[in-house]
Amino acid sequence: MKKYISYGILLPAALVLAACTAKPAVKSIEERIAEVLPQLTIEEKVAMTHAQSKFSSRGVPRLGIPEVWCTDGPHGIRPEVLWDDWNQAGWTNDSCTAFPALSCLAATWDREMGLLFGRSIGEEARYRKKDVLLGPGVNICRTPLNGRNFEYMGEDPYLAGQMVVPYVKGVQENGVAACVKHFAVNNQETRRTSTNSVVDDRTLYEIYLPAFEAAVKEGGAWAIMGSYNLWNGEFNCHNKRLLCDILKGEWGFDGVVVSDWGGCRDDDQAITNGLDMEYGTWTNGLRGAPSDSYNNYHLADPYLQRIADGRVGTTELDDKATRILRLIFRTSMSAEPHYGRFNSPEHYAAAREIAAAGTVLLQNRGSLPLSVPDGGRLVVIGENAVKKMVVGGGSSNLKTKYEITPLEALREAFPNANVVWERGYVGDVSTSYNRVSTGQDLSDPRPADKLLADALAAIEGADAVIFVGGLNKSANQDNESTDRLSLSLPYGQDGIIEALAEKVPGLIVVNISGSPVAMPWKDKVNAIVQGWYGGSETGHALADVLTGAVNPSGRLPFTFPASLDDGPLKTERQYPGIQVEGEQWWQEYYDEGVFVGYRWYGSKGIPVCFPFGHGLSYTTFEYGDATLSKSSVRSDGQIRLSLEIDVKNSGERDGSEVVQVYVAPPAGKVERPAYELKGFEKLFIPAGKTGKATINLGSRSFSRFDAEAHEWVVDPGKWRIFVGSSSADIRSEAVLEII
């Protein structure tokens, strides 16, 4: 055997080879942190806690610690921007796959879609060498007027929590941190940086925290973003109660807290109250400043000065640096390499599948699925049939490789028919945002009466007519920094739909929006489809559902009220807030408490346009009797039981049904909603077959938060458990006695 000399010792060649090829023991993240942290200077630690550019913070080059790079989501990877400016940098290789808005993802009621979404967007982020994806958002739809409802996951904390967990896991599988936002009670865009949300603890814990809690405790989120607003008098990007006591204390969060851009307001609170990384809208927080002003951030030179003169110690700094190192070792310096993919066929297929799965068939009197004979005439009316929606809306603005419009997809679906488009109305003709452009020319000189006349003329002799309208991402619609002004459709669309309905008995209306709209014409049209901002494949997904290539299975993630006046927000002090003498900030009082969305409408018996959880199919489903694994449980123990129910597809098409479970409490001293969602399962069932839904219920399914005792409690008594196809379509019922 050939031999080698090593340090004066004669070794067999086989041993040398084994020693050379053996993999070194992989140190844990905590071991790596313990090695690196003592080597950092105070200046290096502070440098890691604040931005150095629009989307990055410093690393430690002398130790090989890289910068942290963030990117806006949550629907796609934002185009590269200039170092100090929001405008795009002009790259030619940063056109991403645009995925559907999160309101569409929530409408799938499908955890597998959440995982697919997270994995896909996480791969795109990793390919672009991003460490933190600024999303998803899980703020509750408290009012349908909130301009960012389209970026969130509906009005119910349980649904949002169930959908955010797989999204977070999918993103982080790729070595990219999901940064769940905006923590917390951030439910409007009006005066978002100067409004104090006055919310009691019970409401906070039952409605506005559960989705964040699920993201942290079940999803294992590596980052959380604070919100612009204040809660109970303290800005949320450095709110001690929210960040130190609840997030890092009660929930055990070990990741980083990131400020919203410009959300940090106070030097001392930024240091002591749980913030780890500070970023800014401009180079100096919310205000414009020269490009060297990053050193003026609250967690920059002011921090160093406070340490130097002894006003603060370094305990908080070490905690921040530890968390930032943990983030880096989980992402760019992960022991497991990640490479990602960008604009892959699989990603476009995922975008199409998710968008179709979230499309909701609200009403159908026989007009759908759509069929147009060869040589026939399909008339499509409405600006949203051609307007590309990926560009705009605020920080979710994207540059995508392509975007299929509904009109393009319908022409593709019916190649042998004459598919005619008429605009009907002129809404938003803008086609660019932050120098990202769709390349469209949407100008139209025709006055409103001419547009309507041309639309009415076009429908003569049509085999089918589809109106494609709704909202867009311009100011005072689905748009960051502004709220909507009313629940009504803009640009006179209600009148156009009414006029079309008079002449077309089988009129199909497609509403594209990210939030609820009023539909006063509901009973005058044959079919209504709720589309969303579906991303790159939005048109294909919509056409898939309209034609029946995909059997619709989406369900509403929020209530569509008949009127804004019917909702729980009755006063100016509730929304958008009031100025109180002697108070520095606008005050917004959550006087409705836990009665948000369907909890309000159901408890008050107020009829709605379409209820939470509603959605139809091209097939029919029959429910059996619901059975519980236990008929009674003790309130002072850990409750664990399961509910089972058979569901038969009694129609002629394969399809998916969303089985929803609501619990109704016994009468008691504490006012509670009439029923609350506590479980769901999406079942795919072939035609004529029967599927079984099994839904687990635990203590939290029956708990309310006792603010005085600061704990979750279960009220004894007879609980009714409703099983149905929506919050207003109950098919079966069981009773559980809690003793």
Q: Tell me the per-residue pLDDT of 539-582, one tens digit each, with 9 for 90 and over.
A: 999 999 999 999 999 999 999 999 999 999 999 999 999 998 88
- Is residue 22 over pLDDT 80? no
Given pLDDT bands bounded at 50, 70 and 90, which one contains residue 156? very high
Domain ranges of the chain: 40-330, 359-550, 618-738
Model confidence pLDDT, tens digit, residues 65-117: 999 999 998 999 999 999 988 888 999 999 999 999 999 999 999 999 999 99
Given pLDDT bands bounded at 50, 70 and 90, which one contains residue 14? very low
- Cα–Cα distance, 243 to 304 (Å, whole number): 22
Model confidence pLDDT, tens digit, residues 380-425: 999 999 999 999 999 999 999 999 999 999 999 999 999 999 999 9
Which CATH architecture group holds 618-738?
Answer: Sandwich (2.60)
Which CATH architecture group holds 359-550?
Answer: 3-Layer(aba) Sandwich (3.40)
Please give the pLDDT value at position 26.
Answer: 83
Is residue 434 a contact partner of residue 81, using CB atoms and an 8 Å limit? yes
Across 2-16, 84-98, 578-592, 688-702, the highest mean pLDDT is recorded for 688-702
- Record the pTM: 0.95
β strands within 595-700, DSSP E: 621-623, 627-628, 632-633, 640-649, 655-664, 676-685, 690-698
- Is residue 690 over pLDDT 90? yes
Please give the pLDDT value at position 85.
Answer: 84
Given pLDDT bands bounded at 50, 70 and 90, which one contains residue 737? very high
Q: How far is CA 520 from CA 511, 514, 517, 539, in A?
A: 13, 19, 10, 26
Model confidence pLDDT, tens digit, residues 419-459: 999 999 999 999 999 889 999 999 999 999 999 999 999 99
Lowest average pLDDT, out of 2-16, 205-219, 299-313, 698-712, goes to 2-16
- Is residue 721 over pLDDT 80? yes
Please give the pLDDT value at position 86.
Answer: 85
Model confidence pLDDT, tens digit, residues 606-626: 999 999 999 999 999 999 999
- Is residue 9 over pLDDT 60? no
- Mean of pLDDT over the chain: 95
Annotated catalytic residues are 260
- Cα–Cα distance, 372 to 419 (Å, whole number): 10
Q: What is the CA radius of gyration of the chain?
A: 27
Q: How far apart are the first and last CA of the chain?
A: 79
Please spell the DSSP secondary structure of 410-455, one letter per residue.
HHHH-TTSEEEEE--S------EETTEE----------HHHHHHHH
**Helix (H/G/I), strand (E/B), else coil: 135:** coil
| Stretch 161-190: mean pLDDT | 98
Please give the pLDDT value at position 291.
Answer: 63
Model confidence pLDDT, tens digit, residues 484-496: 999 999 999 999 9
Q: Which of 109, 138, 103 is nearest to 214 (CA)?
A: 138
Please give the pLDDT value at position 11.
Answer: 41
Lowest average pLDDT, out of 53-67, 290-304, 383-397, goes to 290-304
Q: Six-digit token pair at 722?
A: 């409703």
Is residue 515 a contact partner of residue 141, using CB atoms and an 8 Å limit? yes
- Cα–Cα distance, 291 to 284 (Å, whole number): 9
Among 3.40.50.360, 3.30.70.60, 3.20.20.300, 3.40.1180.10, what is the CATH number of 40-330? Answer: 3.20.20.300
| Domain 359-550 matches domain 618-738 at the CATH topology level | no
Q: Six-digit token pair at 533?
A: 């901002």
Percent pLDDT > 90 in the chain is: 92
- Cα–Cα distance, 525 to 436 (Å, whole number): 37
- Is residue 15 over pLDDT 60? no
Model confidence pLDDT, tens digit, residues 347-382: 999 999 999 999 999 999 999 999 999 999 999 999
Model confidence pLDDT, tens digit, residues 519-531: 999 999 999 999 9
- Cα–Cα distance, 48 to 59 (Å, whole number): 6
- Cα–Cα distance, 346 to 536 (Å, whole number): 13
Given pLDDT bands bounded at 50, 70 and 90, which one contains residue 284? low
| Better-predicted residue by pLDDT, 124 or 21 | 124
- Is residue 3 over pLDDT 80? no
Determine how β-strand 655-664 pairs with β-strand 676-685: antiparallel
